[in-house]
């Protein structure tokens, strides 16, 4: 995360100080600004596609072996369920998408984000937004291997629930 250095209210330097029971960055002038650094809300979806597959995406700048589920920031005034369908439309061009279930809220501590995660079923022709993504891949559910951070635990829980439901 980029560090915040200056007060957005008066442009003075922020300095460490105590506020609401924690050390935080506070304005060095008496304008009263406190940088709470609250987590940002993000939406994510395990997008199930044709023939028991899932769509994974790779953001621009990620290493070639990294893939994740579709994610994006919640916009002001937007419901999380609307936001994830918008992200799916924008990032991979799928307009025929519907939410199957809400999977839960997962915390991505390293990025200071909370991720509202959904299971979505979608079909149609994938059109990758090349301004945000550098690769998209379709992975059979049987070959999906969750990663240990961010949206990975959501994938792990989804796979576990799916396996149990089929037993």
Using rule CB under 5 A, residue 9 touches Zn ion: yes
- Residue whose tokens read 């709470």: 36
- CA–CA gap between residue 40 and residue 113 (Å, rounded): 5
Contact present, 91 and 70 (Cβ < 8 Å): yes
| Shorter beta-carbon distance to Zn ion: residue 32 or 104 | 32
String marking each residue 17-46 x if it binds Zn ion according to CB under 5 A: ----------x---x-x-------------
Using rule CB under 5 A, residue 14 touches Zn ion: no
* Closest approach of Zn ion to the CB of residue 39, in Å: 23
| Shorter beta-carbon distance to Zn ion: residue 8 or 140 | 8
3-state secondary structure of 37: coil
Using rule CB under 5 A, residue 95 touches Zn ion: no
Using rule CB under 5 A, residue 10 touches Zn ion: yes
Using rule CB under 5 A, residue 56 touches Zn ion: no
Part of the chain binding Zn ion (CB under 5 A), chosen from 8-16, 50-58, 66-74, 106-114: 8-16
- Among 1, 44, 32, 35, CA closest to 16: 35
| Shorter beta-carbon distance to Zn ion: residue 15 or 138 | 15
User: Cα separations (Å) of 153 from 36, 68, 73, 108, 131?
Assistant: 26, 11, 19, 10, 27
Binding residue count for Zn ion, defined by CB under 5 A:
7
Q: Quick count: other Cβ atoms within 10 Å of Cβ 31? A: 12
Phi-psi region of 149 (alpha: psi -120 to 50; beta: other; left: phi over 0): beta
| Shorter beta-carbon distance to Zn ion: residue 27 or 92 | 27
* Closest approach of Zn ion to the CB of residue 18, in Å: 17
Element (H, E) at 45: strand 40-49
| Binding residues for Zn ion (CB under 5 A) | 7, 9-10, 12, 27, 31, 33
């Amino acid at each position: 995360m980029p560090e915040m250095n200056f007060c957005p209210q008066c442009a003075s330097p922020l300095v460490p100080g105590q506020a609401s029971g924690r050390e935080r960055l506070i304005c060095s002038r008496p304008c009263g600004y406190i940088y709470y650094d609250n987590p940002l809300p993000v939406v994510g979806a395990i997008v199930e596609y044709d023939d028991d597959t899932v769509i994974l995406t790779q953001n621009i700048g990620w290493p070639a072996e990294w893939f994740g589920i579709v994610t994006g920031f919640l916009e002001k005034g937007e419901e999380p369920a609307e936001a994830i369908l918008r992200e799916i439309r924008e990032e991979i061009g799928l307009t025929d998408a519907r939410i199957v279930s809400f999977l839960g809220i997962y915390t991505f501590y390293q990025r200071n984000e909370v991720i509202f995660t959904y299971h979505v079923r979608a079909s149609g022709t994938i059109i990758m937004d090349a301004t945000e993504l550098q690769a998209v891949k379709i992975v059979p559910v049987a070959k999906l291997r969750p990663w240990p951070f961010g949206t990975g635990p959501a994938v792990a829980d989804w796979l576990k629930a799916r396996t149990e439901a089929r037993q």
